[in-house]
Amino acid sequence: NLAGLPTLRGQAPIVIGHRGSSGTRPEHTLEAYRVAIEAGADFIEPDLVVTKDGVLVARHEPVIAVVDKDGKVLEATADVAARPEFGDRLTTKTLDGVTVRGYFVEDFTLAELKTLRAVERLPALRGKAYDGQFEIPTLSEVIALVRDMEAKTGRKVGIYPETKHPVYMNEVAKFNTSQLLIDTLVKEKFTDPARVFIQSFEVGNLKDLKQNIMPGAGVNLPLVQLVSSPDEAPYDWTAAGDKRKYDALTTDAALREIATYASGVGPYKRWIIDAEGRTTDFVARAHAAGLLVHPWTFRNEATYLLPGYRNDPEAEMRQAFQAGVDGLFTDFPATGAKVAGQY
Ligand code: G3P
Ligand code: CA
C-alpha cells in the first residue's frame, strides 16, 4: 500500500526515469524516454542545455564529448569526435572551475546537432545494438513524445527538467536556460503543475525562476533544489570540493530557507541512507520544513549501490521508500516501478 508510506502528504511516491531509462538505452534519447514510460515511470527527466541558435536540447552537460590532450575520447554522449567536419569545434573551456577539452553543445546549431547520434557515455559500454542509433532530442520533441505515449497508454506522465549550469549558459552561450524552459513549456502548453517539476543545483537560478521568470510568464510550477553528495569523493566531476557547500544546504535552517522558493529537495541518496546503511533523519527534517524529497540516483549496477546493497538494488530502493521519500530518480524505472508495486 503505497499510500501507507510516510511521504510528505501521504501520497504515493513517484518513479522518475533518470535521463530516461538510461540504464538500458543511451541517455536523453526519445528511445530512452519511451522505454522509461513503458516501464511505468511517472515522470521522465531531461537535463537541458542550449544550442548555438537558442534551442533547449536534452543532454547531461554542455559538453557532449570530453577528450584528452591526444584527442582520445574519455566520455561522450554523441558521436561528434568521430566526425572530422566538426574538428574545428574542439575547444577548451572552464565549466564550474574545471578545465575541459571537448565539444560543447552551445557551439553547434540544432541542425548540426541533429546530424549526430547518441552513444553510450563511456567508451567501454559502447557497441550495443542501440548505440549510435538515436538523435539528440529537443525539449519540444520530448513533450511531444510524452503526449504520444499518453495517447497510447492512457497514462499521464510528467516531465522533470533540470536546467544544467545556467550561470555558465548565461555567460558563455548568452542564453537564459530557465527563461527558454518556461517559454518552451508555455509554447507547448505543458504547464500543469501536477506534471512538471523544475530542478537545479543553482540556488540563484531557482530563486530567479520563482521570483521573476515564472510570474512574468503567468505560470507557477514546483521547483526542486538539488543537493549533491555528502561524501568527500565527488559523485559528479563538476561537484569536486563542494562538500561544505552542500552540507550548508541541509541544516534545518537551510531546509526552511529552501522551502521559501522550492516545493522539494533532490538530495544525493547518501543523505537518506548513511555510510553504514542506516536510514538518516534527512527525510523527516525535510518534511518538517514542508519539502518533498526526491533522491538520486538509484541504479542497478553494483558499483553505484550504497554500502550493504552491492547485490540488491531493489532493497536499496525499498529502504528509500520506507524512509518516506516522495519519489526517486532511477536509471532503471522498470526496477523502480516493480519495487513501488510491492507496497
Ligand atoms: O537531477 C538529479 C540528478 O540527475 C542530478 O545529477 O548529474 O545526474 O544530473 P545528474
Ligand atoms: Ca539531472
| Distance between CA atoms of residues 295 and 277, nearest Å | 15
CB of 18 sitting under 6 A from ligand 1: yes
Instruction: State residue 13's pLDDT score.
Output: 95
What is the number of the ligand 1 atom nearest to the C-alpha of 47? Answer: 9
pLDDT digit string, tens, across residues 101-142: 999 999 999 999 999 999 999 888 888 989 999 999 999 999
CB of 236 sitting under 6 A from ligand 1: yes
Instruction: State residue 152's pLDDT score.
Output: 95
CB of 329 sitting under 6 A from ligand 1: yes
Instruction: State residue 308's pLDDT score.
Output: 76
CB of 297 sitting under 6 A from ligand 1: yes
Residues of the chain short of pLDDT 70, as ranges, are: 1-3, 230-247
Domains and CATH numbers, the chain: 2-60+135-340 (3.20.20.190)
The pTM for the full model equals: 0.94
Cell 511517472, residue?
42
CA of 84 to the centre of ligand 2 (A): 30
**Residues flanking ion ligand 2, Cβ below 5 Å:** 47, 162
- 75, 237, 296, best to mutate for ligand 1 pocket (most atoms within 8 Å of CB): 296
Kind and range of the H or E run holding 327? strand 327-330
CA angle (287 as vertex; 211, 36 as ends), nearest 5: 80
Nearest CA to ligand 1 atom 7: 236
Instruction: State residue 246's pLDDT score.
Output: 59
What is the number of the ligand 1 atom nearest to the C-alpha of 236? Answer: 7
Asked if 138 and 57 touch (Cβ cutoff 8 Å), the reply is: yes
What is the number of the ligand 1 atom nearest to the C-alpha of 238? Answer: 7
pLDDT digit string, tens, across residues 158-182: 999 999 999 999 999 999 999 999 9
CA of 114 to the centre of ligand 2 (A): 22
Q: Measuring CA to CA, which residue among 16, 8, 11 is closest to residue 291?
A: 8
CA of 85 to the centre of ligand 2 (A): 30
Nearest CA to ligand 1 atom 1: 162
Crossing angle of the two packed helices 333-340 and 313-323, in degrees rounded to 10: 50
Omega of the bond prior to 297 within 30 degrees of 0, cis?
Answer: yes
